[in-house]
Structure formats: C-alpha cells, structure tokens
Structure 1
C-alpha cells in the first residue's frame, strides 16, 4: 500500500480502482517483484530460487521453479512459526497473527500467516464498497446501517501468536475501532456488542439496537447470509423480551451479563419507549413473518451479505423475509488467505454476481479447468502436483472458462491453491471478473462417482421446485455418503417449512412428492453418478431425510462450540463429522428413497 493506508475514499477510491484495473498486468508484475524482493532471504524461497543475495528476481524464473502447493506443503513452516521459530522462514515481515479458516468446508481449520500490512490491504478494499454502492443507491448517508457483526474468542499458538478468524482480527484492529465517524460508518450496533465473545449476548444487543433505531435504518446485513438468517430466527424467539426492554427502558433480565454490553445498552435504552415497543410487538406477533424485514425496518434499501456459492441456498429465505422487496447485495470476495475483489454491480441479480479482481491485493494465477460453459477437474486428487506451466496469469484468462485460483502473498504463501473454482464472466479494463462457482474439494463419492458442491447444489435447486405448489420451502440442506449399506448411497438431509411459518409434517406433503424430489436430484447429477446407479448398480437409491425444524441451527451451534466462527460459518454441504451426523440423524422424522433409476444412456 506504500503508506496510503486509508487515503482512498469516495471519488478518490473509484479513481484508484480505475487506475489499478487499467494497468492490471503492470500492477501484477510489480506486486510479484515486490513480494520476491521483500522475501528473498526466506528459507522457503531459498529452496527454489538461486542467488540469496540477488537484488533482482526474474518473474519467469519464479513461475518455472516455485511449485504450486496446497496447505499440507506449507503447514510444516506454519507449525514451526507457531512453535516459536522466526517468521523469516516464509516472510521477511513479522507475522503478527495466524488467521483461522472457517473449518467447515474442508474439515479442520487451517492457520494462515498474516502480517501488519495485510490489514491495510483489507481496509483498502473495504473503503471501496460504499463509493461503489453510492453509484446505484442514493441517500445512504442519511441514516444508519444495521449490520450484524460477530467476533470469536481467540486462541493462541504455542509461542503466543494470536490465532483468530480474519473478521475477528479486523473488528479488533485499530482500523475498525478508529474508523472515520462519517455517515457510512454509522452502525446501529455498538462496538461493545460486536466485540462481545458471547454470540447470544452480542446478537441480542445488536438486534435490540437495530429495533430501537428501526426508523433510521437504511441498510441491513451480515457477512454471510446464514448469519443474517440466524439473526431472524433469534429475533423470532426473543422479540417479547426485547419489546419489554424497550417498553421499560431497562435490561431487567439475566441474558445480558457482559458489563461492556450492559454499559453500551444503557445509553441506547436510556428512556422507556412504550409506543415503539407496541409497534414492534404488533409486527412481530403477526401470523406470518413473510416480509417481516420491510415491516420492521421500513426505510431499508437492501440486504448486504455473501450470497454466492453455498450461500446461494439462503436466497429464497432472504426473499421470503423481505417479500422480494429488498435487493440482495453481495459486495466482495475474500478469504482468510487473501482479499481478492469487489462487485462493481452490487444491485445485480444474485445469479449474476461477479467480482472484479483487484491486482494490488496479491499475485494471482489460475489453473485451467474447462471452457465453453462446462468445467471438470482432471486432477481428482487435490494433493496431486500441478505442472507449473499449466498456470495462467490474471490478465490472460478467457471469458467463459473455468479456473482454480492460486495466490502468492506478502505473508508467505507462494503459489498456494485456494481451492475455489471460478468462471470468467468478463473484464473491467484489464482486470478479469469472476463468478464464484464452488469449493473444489467438497465432494460426495461412493464408487467411481465424484459429486462436487456445485453439482449437488444445482440438483437440489431443481428438486426443491417440486415443493413450491405445496407452499413449502427448503430452508437448508446437507449431505452424506452412506457406505454402511451395500451398495452405499447418497443421503441428503432437508429442513422444510411452510410459508405460514408452520413446520411441515408427514401429512402436509405426500410421500410421492418427496420421492419425486429424490428422482429429480438424481436426474440432475452427472453422467458417472447416473451410470453407477443405473448400469453398474454400485450406488444405491438416493435418500432424502426430513429433519425437525431448528436442526440446522443446532448443527451450527455444534460447529461453533467446536471452534467455528459465527461470522464465517457455512453449513457444510457434505458431512463427515460423526457428532454432526449423530445430531442430524437424531432429528430425522421421515425418510424417502428414489423409487426408480435415473435416466442413463451409454
């Protein structure tokens, strides 16, 4: 960032965005040269690049000699640093913390190194969001934002380095705490509530603050759609207590024990507001919560959350609670390893969300996966070595083609496979724009079949349409490859509600409807799966298990108790945890199997 930590805002930010994307190739080359010059003395780079004392590095030499890696390759270095060895094993700058991945997409959480200037890069990207949105939505400086943000209790490595999620790191940083007090940073949530480690107390305080300011709220949101919907569910259970507190102007129950939260709320709940409490009670006591967001926050202009990839499953629920009146805005693409890009058309339809990669965030390369609207992973084993000559530079990707993202960072990741599958949708100046497709390493497999997350999601999306004539809504799902039977089969867990907020029961949906849903899922799965089912008979009929209402909230609680972050939690699309499977199976109330083989042609 060269000292320009927080310089770019408003029109300046947009101008800088144009400058960066117009010179993406040059910026990328400069970024890689800076990384190599800065980290030239590290043990890791010295393994592959000759001339430790050299003052210049050849980009082509880096691409030829430095291998493409996965987490298992860099993990020994991260472990050594976590145990107290010097950061210069992988980076010249001190590692100030380890960032924990969510740990729900690919198993155990991973630790990613982070240096001080990474916070500058994240802040730079955050500062682009409002200038972009202001081009499409007027008057956002005339009210407040009800954004529900959460932190997670920190761990530490053996040598004392903080180990925390990337969002916890940002919210606890001076960049967030000392953010400019301008209208675009006017949140309903007090910082004390955001920084409370108890998610229930934090949720209560943030929601009641949002309700008190309901007539000033112009923006709603959370980091992930799942967290926002969890907040709605929490509100359904706790609005009577909140109305009581607003009516009396006090916190007279035992839920809020955190002293910082109580202090923050004492300023917001300074006076009794019986009229406001009556308004909220009248709205929340309605028989149906369809459109509840627009009724509680009548001036809201959009909902902001991640709705791409596995989060797209939550779009129907968000549309239900907003009665399709509020646009769903997905602003940015980021991960624990690196922040990548922004959505330049934030009001686009969820299916059309694409992210423009910012070339100053890191050095980006791409493993080609497919063209012409289809993609495949011929490297079936994620750990298989990728030939270095296969990778494509940022500015040389092709529209319509699919790629796996590879990143090089200042913090010590070199040609690291993020694991995200992306499709190029276009270019903004020289910078490509990508649609996020899925995580490549989430699969179901019984025999030769290998079902990725995207195929599973597409299949479920088709099948759940069969529920619509019955006023039923699929709110969440996950899956499991059950090999306990011969042959093994796919199990998909569904949680269904009816649009009158009553939980569906066996009598509310004819068994043949759910059996046809099984068939619909199988018909949409790929050729190999259908061949295994129909011809080879190596895979048994697909099963849908209907679970009780609230099961997926309990699943989320389970993962949070095991160390996942409420901010970063994503319902895993493939379950491998024995504890999670036990929870799901204990809540199954009905089970349905595909009554016939899917269509298959040799």
Structure 2
C-alpha cells in the first residue's frame, strides 16, 4: 500500500512536518508560519551540515527545541564520523524510534518469503553499543544503533521468534566492545547447533569479530571445557548473564570446536562452526563491497550474503526486497513514510556537487519523479528538524517497486584524494582498487582492507594506499615486488583522465605508492577511531586518512613499500 501510494504518502509526510514545525525559528525565516508545500519547495533552501550545526549547538547548550522542531529533541545522534574525520550530531525526537522499528519489522517478513524456518532457531548477530555522553543541557549524545538497542523497542522483543539472539541483552549492552565481542562469540559457539543466521550491521564489524575469534578461540574453548568464564571479562552484568551459558563444563563441545578451529586454514570456517546457518547478514554495498571476498573466504562461498536495509543517522530510508540477490546487485526500495525525500540530479554522470556549491530549489526532483538509470544526491526533510538536508549519499535509480523507486548505493560525497587538479572520489578509488586486487587474488592473496591519503611531503605529491593482505595458502607467502608494482600500475590505469594526465604529462603528481601493513593494522586503526568517538557498530574504514594520529599509526605498521614503475596511459 505504501509503495502503490508513494506520491500521496510523500505529500502527507511533508504536510505533517510543516504543520508540526511551522512555528520553529528555522522554518519561520522562510515560510512565515505557512504550511503550504509549494511555499516550502519554493522558499526553503538546500543546505549542508555547516548550516544545521549552529542550531544543534544552541539546543545542546540549553535552548529550546522549538528553534528547529515542534517536538522536543530527546537525543542527538552521533554519526559514524569516519567519512570525513569528525562526527556530526543529528537531532532526534521520540517518535523517530517508532519509524526505525517499523522498518526493522519488515526485514524478517521479507526474508521469510525466501528462506523458510527462520523462526525455529537463533541469530548470532554481533551487535555493540557505544558509551553515551550528555550535553551541557542534559541531552544524550549517542549513536543511532546505541539508541535503538537501549530502547524498549529492542529490549521488549521477548516473544518475537525472528529476533531470538544467542547473546543476552546484558552482553550486547556491555560498553566494553572487547568484552562484549568475547561473550557474544562464546554464546554463539555454545549455541552453534541452533544458529540459523550470522551477521552484524556492517561487514567490517562482522569480519573484525571473526578476526577476534581467530586470535582467541583457544580461550573460548577453554571456557567451554571448564564451564568457567575467562577472568578478563570483568563487566559484572556480562559475567552474571553468562552464568547460564557456562553452568556446567562441556568437554565434548570443546573438543569439537578445538578440532574445527585448530585444523589448518580458516577457509569455510563459518559453515563448520555453525553448520545450520542459512545466510550472513550485513551491509555489503558501497565501500562495504570491499569485504565480500573475505566473507566468501570464511564462508567457503556456500553461505548467501544478504543486505537487508539502507539507513543513516539522519533517517532510515528503505529495504531490499530481493535479499538473496548478489551483493553487487542490491537495490533498496525507499519507504515513503520514513521522511520527505528529494534528489539533486547529477547531470554529468557521477560529478557530485561540492558542499559549497549552491543548489537551486528548481533543481530538486521528488521521490516518484526520478528516472531509471540516472544518478542523484539524496536530500531529506524530517520531523526532527532537518529541512532539505544533503545527506551526502550518491544513488542510482535501478527501477521501481509499484510507484516507489529503487536505488543502488554508489558512494559517499566528497571522500577524495587530490594533489593538483586531480580529484578522485570514493567510487573511483574503490573501482580502481577492486580491479587491482584481482591481480592479488590470481596469486593466492586477498586484500583484507585499504585506505589512502595524499602525501604532499614529496615533490611532487603522490597517492599512498595502505593495504593489508592475507595469503589464502598455508604458511607464510612472501610478497613478490613485481606483483605489488603491477597492482600500482593497475590502480593508476583505472583512475580518471585528469589524474593520468597529471601523472604522465604534467608531472604534477608522483608515482602511486602501496604501503603493505602488518596483520591487524586496520584493527588497530578501528580501535583508535572508536576510542575517539566512533561507534563499533557504525564503524566504516575511512577511505581517505586525514587524522595525524591515524596516519602515524598506519605508518608504524608498514612492512614494505612499492611504487608504480611507469607512467599510466593518459591520452584520450
């Protein structure tokens, strides 16, 4: 019904937002308390976070929520903050939780159309919270997922067969992510025969947990064998909650796990540890696509990888109605009751407008008027006080479900490398790395993780890629310098014309460099950024490093460095 009546639903949402928020200081500047939707579209400007931030700061210091919303701002949601180096705070009202819960409530009915029997077992989902803070006026500041996991909407799900998790709530809500991860994995191993679903919010968090399991499986097996929890778990609520899992020693299960974890490479380990699992769920679109090969390695390529939803701190957006499609084919159907959606057409292919560039109101396209095949930048208006706000996501329309458009997530705006006149966005970087990593895969290596930064300490400056590489064969496999140099060449050949011209003709950009880092370097980077305020649940490896501490950390982990041996082809 929602998608059939998408246009009417969007009109109703905008009308309600204007009726409830007409008296706000922000809207009154442009609409003089009018609730006319045409006046809104004509007068209210398209804005970026720089415009919104002063209002949020005023609310955080004690001013009334009415400066942006007709409802009380009950919390400020901290974005992941890893795309551009610093977190952003998004206003939220109490009923936003209802909207998020509505979207979550659709996921399992959709999955149940494709996979049967999901209510007969449990899910080992690795979910984490981040310790929250308070503003000077007492408003909680936390991640959107922490907000949800601490809410009654999540905690009062006891009779929901489809959300029966292996881990107790006390373990999920443990603020120490290492202790929480240890206990969640322990619960999942104890319940291994009952687990039908594996997952995390982002693929990076799931793989981080598997990496943690590789390091600590001996301790986990010892706990199961002895029926006693490792003393390194010091959180009181965690220890109490785990008592029922380790009430008795279980040497038989310990022997099974020891045999599985101790026998050679971990290729296909997930299916051996959890033999009844039907799929792995995580976000695998956008830059998360980088993790697909590693997930396929651990799953042996036999467990479907599923992406179910599209959401952010600003708003929840939509669901994947074909969850068993290939991750590269995922499209999300936008739900027209989540917020009021508009779109900035990207008329020059993927040329994304800069933050500073003014976008005229006449440029915006409504939800139901987007065109299949075209690229757009997402703009949202919400009940909580965001009006024509540029989220920063670039999407491509792939089709329609009834009258609601379906979008493929392409990239985040303004994550770029630049030395001279070259500008490399996140999508270009990801595509070039994806092409180059196939050279590694042909030689029994997998690219686990990567990031980049523009090194201007040299003359000319040059692009640096940090790569963490894993061998798929037993034993230590030394890296062939020619192999990595070929990867450098492949990356450069895949970048755009302006970069290649700067490299080969103008000589204003130096040869691209790949710095190989030791195992665990990107886990250490994650620890650093989480310690600075990012949420482990929402963490995404930044594709361009700007932080001095992060750069210093990665450079300290470098084991070898390789440069492109020749100029790329550049002529048109």
TM range (shorter): over 0.9
- The Cα of 1:503 is off from its aligned counterpart by 5.4
Unaligned runs of 5+ in 1: 1-18
The equivalent position to 2:188 in structure 1, one of 195, 210, 214, is 210
Q: Which residue is equivalent to 1:32?
A: 14
Whole-Å separation in 2 of the counterparts to 1:180 and 1:31: 32
**Alignment map for 1:445-594 (pairs within 5 Å):** 445-500=418-473, 502=475, 504=477, 508-594=478-564
Kindly indicate whether the alpha-carbon contact (under 8 Å) linking 1:443 and 1:453 is maintained by their aligned counterparts in 2.
yes
- Partner SS, residue 451 of structure 1: coil
| Count of residue pairs brought into register by the alignment | 572
Deviations 1:141-171 (A, max 9, x none): 1111000100000011111100000000000
Does residue 228 (structure 1) correspond to residue 206 (structure 2)? The answer is yes
Alpha-carbon separation, structure 2, partners of 1:479 and 1:296: 35
Q: Distance in 1 between matches of 2:262 and 2:347?
A: 51
1:53-86 CA-to-partner distances (Å, cap 9, x unmatched) read x5xx221211110000000001010000000000
- Alignment partner of 1:20: what SS? coil
Map 1:316-395 → 2, pairs under 5 A: 316-370=293-347, 374-377=349-352, 379=353, 381-395=354-368
Q: Which residue of 2 aligns with 1:9?
A: none
1:500 Cα deviation from its structure 2 partner = 3.0
- With normalisation by structure 2, the TM-score equals 0.99
Secondary structure in 2 aligned to 1:470?
coil
Distance in structure 1 (CA, Å) of the matches to 2:475 and 2:122? 33
**Corresponding position of 1:6:** none
- Distance in structure 2 (CA, Å) of the matches to 1:426 and 1:87: 39
Tell whether 2:246 aligns with 1:269. Answer: yes
Deviation at 1:578, TM superposition (A): 0.5
* TM value normalised by structure 1: 0.94
The whole-number CA distance in structure 2 between the counterparts of 1:593 and 1:295 is 40
Q: Does 1:441 align with 2:414?
A: yes
1:132 and 1:552 map into 2 onto residues whose CA distance is: 34
Aligned to 2:145: 167
SS of equivalent residue, structure 1 residue 141: helix
SS in 2 for 1:455: helix
Contact 1:218–1:301 under 8 Å retained in 2:
yes
Check conservation: 1:287, 1:500, Cα contact below 8 A. no
The 8 Å contact of residues 496 and 503 in structure 1, kept in 2 or not, is answered as no
Q: Which runs of 4+ in 1 moved over 4 A?
A: 501-504
Q: Secondary structure at the match of 2:400?
A: strand
Q: CA deviation at 1:447?
A: 0.6
Question: Whole-Å Cα distance in 2 between the matches of residues 476 and 565 of structure 1?
Answer: 19
Q: Distance in 2 between matches of 1:501 and 1:33?
A: 62
CA RMSD of aligned residues (A): 1.0
Question: 1:470 deviation in Å?
Answer: 1.8
| Structure 2 unmatched runs, 5+ | none
Distance 1:68 1:485, change over 3 A: same
Q: CA deviation at 1:351?
A: 0.4
- SS of 2:3's equivalent? helix
2:123 counterpart SS class = strand
